[in-house]
Amino acid sequence: MELLVLFGTFAVLLLIGAPVALCLGMASFATIAFIGLPPVVVFQRLNSGISVFALLAIPFFIYAGELMVRGDIARRLVALAGAAVGHLRGGLGQVNITASVLFGGISGSAAADASAIGGLMIPQMEKRGYGRDYAVNITVTSSIIALMLPPSHNLIIYSISAGGRISIADLFTAGIVPGLLLALALMVVAWFVAKKRGYTTEPFPGARAVVGLLFSALPGLILVAIIFGGVRSGVFTASESSCIAVIYAIAVTIFVYRSLPWSEFVAATKSAVRTSSMVLLVIGSAAAFGWLLAYLKVPAELVQWMKGISQNPLVILLLLNVLLLLLGTFMDMSPLIVITTPIFLPVAMAYGIDPVQFGIILILNLGIGLCTPPVGAVLFVGCAVGKVKISEVIKTIWPFYLAAIAVLLLVTYVPALSLWLPSVFK
């Protein structure tokens, strides 16, 4: 009955359009009242959920991404990608995906990637004769890549939700190969769709132009090396690297590129504060919700239920993928990570699945959910930037969905794709 109150209250509030943080908090309050525990427990769990030192990395990484978005970094990365891969079939589509790889390693955010790269690429693609739906399809699905490349703050949230026992450095490293594999899969699909529609290619500007644009974009790309190399080598923690990222982003955009006027600096600061406050409030509310799930012994019961279905890890992984894909279509990513990690991670570990591999599976699953209606936040961003209806995009986006799901299955059933690179750095 307690679970009915918890999930029922949450579902009703979500259906009437209440903010996710409010849904989680009110559902926790209702269940606490039903059980007879003091209401102050919710505030205690919320406070403990956000009073984690490692969470400091999230607002600083968000801030660094905002500074890079407004400081001309995205345009330079798109120019570099255009020179490098624009001559392939589907020209600007390939540029869009490659730019997402380069920018994703700086922003770590799917929404920021879709907004920044989409704002630059979708109008250009439309002017060159590409279908608007094709441009939005690529922008939306390629933004998932940012979730798996360092400095993805979602990987940090997963580590904290797992009790801080999983190395953030290992997670950052584990996401690189799957992220690049997803980019390759999307580029193949973009090539076939472009060939079918008869889209043209862009002329190759020559190696000298590519090298020149590489040097132009290099100060921004160095940020990725600083974050990944510093965390991976143990020189500084993820929280410390996020502060260094902000200082470096300010230095590059103001003193090197000279492309961040005071008005944009203020706008970036305000946007980072707003986004960080929303993310942290959701994390705190989800922590209270997750504590109740643990209190009601949901993870243990789920493990037993799964064992009753099958003892085969391959079957269990398939069930977990289906459940996560379904959940991802109805909720935003951050709260789902906090809620589902304490529930599903014990199940995965009970079947011998490495927690680092499961983290990449979880993030990729929920990333696909961001591109899927009815609550696909990144899908909404892409459609808003591209000024196209969601119904039009859904009709033609399915080949890109299939590519993402194919990569998900590979990451799920070939552990080496996510675990090989971390083992190299051991």
Q: What is the predicted pLDDT for the residue at 90?
A: 65
Number of domains in the chain: 1
- Please indicate, yes or no, if residue 10 is contained in any of the structural domains: no
CA distance 408 to 419: 14
117-121: average pLDDT: 74
How do residues 123-147 score in pLDDT, each as one tens digit? 777 777 778 888 888 888 988 888 8
Whether 162 is covered by a domain: the verdict is yes
> CB count, 10 Å around CB of 226?
16
Share of the chain above pLDDT 70, in %: 95
- In the chain, the amino acid numbered 157 is I
Collapse the DSSP code of 272 into the 3-class scheme (helix H, G, I; strand E, B; otherwise coil) and give the result: helix
Tens of pLDDT, residue by residue over 194-208, are: 888 887 777 777 777
d(CA 323, CA 318): 9
Ramachandran region, residue 109 (left: φ > 0; alpha: ψ -120 to 50; beta: rest): beta
- In a 13 Å sphere around the CA of 177, the CA atoms on its Cβ side amount to 19
* Spatial CB neighbours of 384, under 8 Å, sequence gap ≥ 6: none
pTM of the model: 0.83
Structural domain contains residue 160: yes
| Beta-carbon contacts of residue 301 (< 8 Å; ≥ 6 apart) | none
Any residues with CB less than 8 A from the CB of 176 and at least 6 apart, and which? 148, 149, 150, 421
Domain that holds residue 88: 53-424
Q: Tell me the C-alpha distance between 114 and 45, whole Å.
A: 33
Residue 363, amino acid: I
pLDDT at 346 over 80: yes
Report if residue 334 sits inside a domain. yes
Residue 32, in any domain of the structure: no
Which range, of 159-173, 207-221, 342-356, averages the lowest pLDDT? 207-221
Q: For the CA atoms of the chain, what is the radius of gyration?
A: 21
What type of residue is 289?
Answer: F
Tens digit of pLDDT for each residue in 236-276?
A: 777 788 888 888 888 888 888 888 888 888 888 888 888 78
In a domain, 415, yes or no: yes
Q: Band of the pLDDT at 402, cuts 50, 70, 90?
A: very high
106 band by pLDDT with thresholds 50, 70 and 90: low
Chain centroid to Cα 13, Å, comes to 25
Is 20 among the domain residues? no
Higher-confidence position of 292 and 362:
362
In whole angstroms, give the CA distance from residue 200 to residue 194: 8
Average pLDDT over residues 15-28: 81
pLDDT value at residue 3:
78
Phi then psi dihedrals of residue 388, to 5 deg? -135, 150
Token reading at 219: 């100060």
Q: 156 or 20: whose pLDDT is higher?
A: 156
Sign of torsion, CA 358 361 366 367?
A: positive
Backbone angles phi, psi at 200, to 5 degrees: -85, 170
Look at residue 407 and tell me whether its pLDDT is greater than 90: yes
SS3 sequence of 1-32: CHHHHHHHHHHHHHHCCCCHHHHHHHHHHHHH
What's residue 360's pLDDT? 94
Q: Answer yes or no: is 89 within a domain.
A: yes
pLDDT at 374: 66
Residue 62 corresponds to which tokens in the numbers above? 């968000």
